[in-house]
Structure 1
C-alpha cells in the first residue's frame, strides 16, 4: 500500500514538474502556431486601462505617469484608477491628474479588489479593458502589443509578460524571477495549443463585452475572468512582447502571504468550476489541473512522498529519501541562518521552494475555513 502511495505521489510530481511542461513545449514546437484570423479592416481599438489601488500613495504618481507615457493614441486611451477604500493620500494624488484625463473612482467602504474591478468595468468606455496594478509598470509598447492580437475575432483575452526586477534588497526577487521566467516559457507554448489556463492580473487585456460580473468574494479575479471568457468560446492567449515590470516583495514572509492568498483562490476556482474540471471536459481543463491545481496540491504530494519513502527499502528508495532529506536540511539551514541575520545564497532556492509549499498549505487552510477576502487581502510591502 505504501509503495502505491509513493509511486502515485512520485508520478504526480513528475507530471507537474517535468512531463507536462516537456509535453507542452514539444507539442507546441512541432505544431503550427494557431494562425490568427485577422480582420483586414481592423483598426486600433479604444482602450480603458483600469488601475486597481489600495493605499498606493507611494507609487501611484509613478504609475499614472507611466500610463500617460504609453505609446498609444491619446484619443483612444482612457485611464481609470479605482481606489478600494484607500485611507491614505491615494485619492488625492489621483485627482491631481484629472486635467490629463485620468478618472478617479474612489469608494470609501472597502469591499475588496473584485468588487472594485466590477465597478470599474461598469464605467469603462473602451472596447478593450486592460487590468493593471498600481505597483506594475508597463514598457511603452505594452498596449500596442496587447491590442494587436484582437484583430483575431476569436481572441477574447491577452495576457502580457510579468517581469520581476532584480534588486539586492528584495530577498524574494531571485525566487520570483526564476518562477516567472519558467511561467513565461510555459505560457508561450500553452498559448500555441489553444488558451492559457489563467492570466496574470497585472497585465491582462480583454474584450469589454465579454466581461461577466464576478462574485465579490472571488479571490483570484484574473482566473475568474479567464474562465468566463473561455466558457464563451473565446481564446485567452499569451503575448510575451507586452511587458510589465514590478518589484518583488521586500521579504520572503510577505511573498509567502501573497502565495497563500493565490493558493486559496486557486482552490476556490477549482471548487466553483468543479463540474467543468472534474473530470476535465476539454484541453483547457486538463491544462488548468496539471499547471495550476497540481502546483497548489504539491505540499500534500511531497508529504505523501516523504512519509511513504521512510518505510520503503531498496537502492532507489534509499537514494531518493536521501535527496529529500538533503533538500529539507538545506532549506532548514537557510531558514535558521536567515533568522540570525545571515544570508546563505546556496540555500536560497531550496528555502524558497519549501517556503512556497508552506504557503500553499496555509492557502488550503484558508479555503477550508472559508476565510473572508477582507481578512487576507493585504498589500505586500514592495
Structure 2
C-alpha cells in the first residue's frame, strides 16, 4: 500500500503545484523573457454587436443605453439582439428602442445560446463581430480598444477585461481575488502568445474567422478562441477594453452558473476532441494546464489528503502536507462562521477556493446526469 500511497501523494502534489503555481509562473516568465507585443493600429472597421439573452428585462434597457454611449462612429455599428425563449418583457422593451442600428430577433422556444449566436451573426454586416452579454456595462472606449488589436494581422480575436463591482460579502471578495488571479494568467498568456479563453462579457473577432457553433455549445468563449488559434491567429487580452459586472454575494447564488460553465468544459471535450490532440491544437499545453487540470483539482486535493494521511508517520514532509490540508479545512470552517473573523483575507480566499473546487467536482456529476447543458 505504501508505494501506491507514495505515488498518489507525489503525483497529486506535483499536478496541483503545476496548475496553481507552476503554469502561471511559466507563462509569466515567457511574457517577460520572450514577449510578443501586438502591433496595435487605430483602425475603424465596421462592427456588428451581437447579444443573446434569455429573460433579461432587468438589464436590456440599460444595456441598449450603454451601447449608445460607445465612442465609435454610429454609422459603422449594427446591433443584433436575439431573445432565446424569453417569457418576460425583454422583447417588448427592446423593440421600444429608437436606435435604428438595432435588430431584434425573437425565438419563442428556447434553443440555447449557440443557436442564437449563429442566427444573429447571419444577419450582421460588420467586418468585426463583437460579442457581449446583456448584464454587463461596457466602457465607452471598449470597441476602439478591441479593434485596435485587430490592426495587427496576426491577431484574430481579442478579449476585454471584466471588472467586479459592488463586492460586499466575504465570499464575493474571495471570488474577486480569484478572478484577479485568473486575469493575471490570461494577461501573461496574451503577452507571450495567445490566451486560452475570452470573457463572454466582451470579446471581438474577425468576421472571416467565425464558424457556426455546434448546437448546444455552452462555452462559446472557449471554443471560438481555440478555433481562431487553430487557424493560425493569436487571441489576445486588452485590459483597456473594460466591462463591469457584479459577483454573486453568496455561494448559493454562484453555484448554478459555475457548475454549468464548468460542466461546459466536459461538453467541449466531447464536442471538439481535437483539442486533446497536440498536433491539432497549437495551444495544447496551455489548454491542458489552464483548463483540463483545473477540472481535476478537487479530485487531486482529495487524493493528496488521503495519501498524505496514510503516510503521515513516514516522514515529517507528509505530516506537514497533511497538516496544511487540515488547516485549510479549518480555515473554510472559520470563514463560514457568522463573525468578523470570516472577513479576514486568508479566510475569504480559502472559502472561495473551497467552493470553486466543490463546484468543479459537482460539474462532472451534473454533466454525467444532463448532457443538454444549453437548456438549463
Distance across 2 between alignment mates of 1:140 and 1:188:
21
Distance across 2 between alignment mates of 1:223 and 1:148:
22
Q: Secondary structure at the match of 2:22?
A: helix
C-alpha displacement of 1:45: 0.5
Q: Secondary structure at the match of 2:216?
A: coil
Structure 2 unaligned regions, length at least 5: none
**In structure 2, do the counterparts of structure 1 residues 225 and 374 end up closer, same or farther at CA, with 3 Å as the change threshold?**
closer
**In structure 2, do the counterparts of structure 1 residues 253 and 37 end up closer, same or farther at CA, with 3 Å as the change threshold?**
closer
Distance across 1 between alignment mates of 2:282 and 2:177:
27
2:130 equivalent in structure 1: 130
Could you report, residue by residue, the CA deviation over 1:2-22 in whole angstroms, capped at 9, with x for unpaired residues? 111000000001101111111
**Aligned mate of 1:3, from 1, 6, 11:** 6
**Aligned mate of 2:343, from 342, 345, 363:** 345
Q: Secondary structure at the match of 1:344?
A: helix
* 2:71 equivalent to 1:44: no
2:117 equivalent in structure 1: 117
1:379 equivalent in structure 2: none
Could you report, residue by residue, the CA deviation over 1:51-71 in whole angstroms, capped at 9, with x for unpaired residues? 221111111111111111010
C-alpha displacement of 1:284: 0.9
2:359 equivalent in structure 1: 359
C-alpha displacement of 1:309: 0.9
**In structure 2, do the counterparts of structure 1 residues 275 and 117 end up closer, same or farther at CA, with 3 Å as the change threshold?**
closer
C-alpha displacement of 1:234: 1.4
Q: Confirm or deny: 8 A CA contact 2:171 2:251 kept in the other structure.
A: yes
**In structure 2, do the counterparts of structure 1 residues 371 and 183 end up closer, same or farther at CA, with 3 Å as the change threshold?**
same
2:333 equivalent in structure 1: 332
* 2:290 equivalent to 1:291: yes
**Aligned mate of 2:19, from 16, 21, 27:** 16
C-alpha displacement of 1:219: 1.4
Distance across 1 between alignment mates of 2:142 and 2:97:
21
1:81 equivalent in structure 2: 81
Distance across 1 between alignment mates of 2:289 and 2:137:
30
Q: Confirm or deny: 8 A CA contact 2:171 2:348 kept in the other structure.
A: no
Q: Confirm or deny: 8 A CA contact 2:199 2:221 kept in the other structure.
A: yes
**In structure 2, do the counterparts of structure 1 residues 328 and 175 end up closer, same or farther at CA, with 3 Å as the change threshold?**
same
Q: Secondary structure at the match of 2:82?
A: strand
C-alpha displacement of 1:252: 1.5
Q: Confirm or deny: 8 A CA contact 1:164 1:176 kept in the other structure.
A: no
Alignment of 1:191-270 (within 5 A): 191-270=190-269
Distance across 2 between alignment mates of 1:343 and 1:251:
17
2:321 equivalent in structure 1: 320
C-alpha displacement of 1:330: 2.1
The TM-score with structure 2 as length reference comes to 0.92
Distance across 1 between alignment mates of 2:211 and 2:107:
21
**In structure 2, do the counterparts of structure 1 residues 219 and 343 end up closer, same or farther at CA, with 3 Å as the change threshold?**
farther
Distance across 2 between alignment mates of 1:258 and 1:74:
34
Cα RMSD after superposing both structures: 2.0
C-alpha displacement of 1:273: 3.4
The TM-score with structure 1 as length reference comes to 0.91
Distance across 1 between alignment mates of 2:176 and 2:72:
28
Could you report, residue by residue, the CA deviation over 1:79-129 in whole angstroms, capped at 9, with x for unpaired residues? 221111111111011111144432211111100111111111111111111
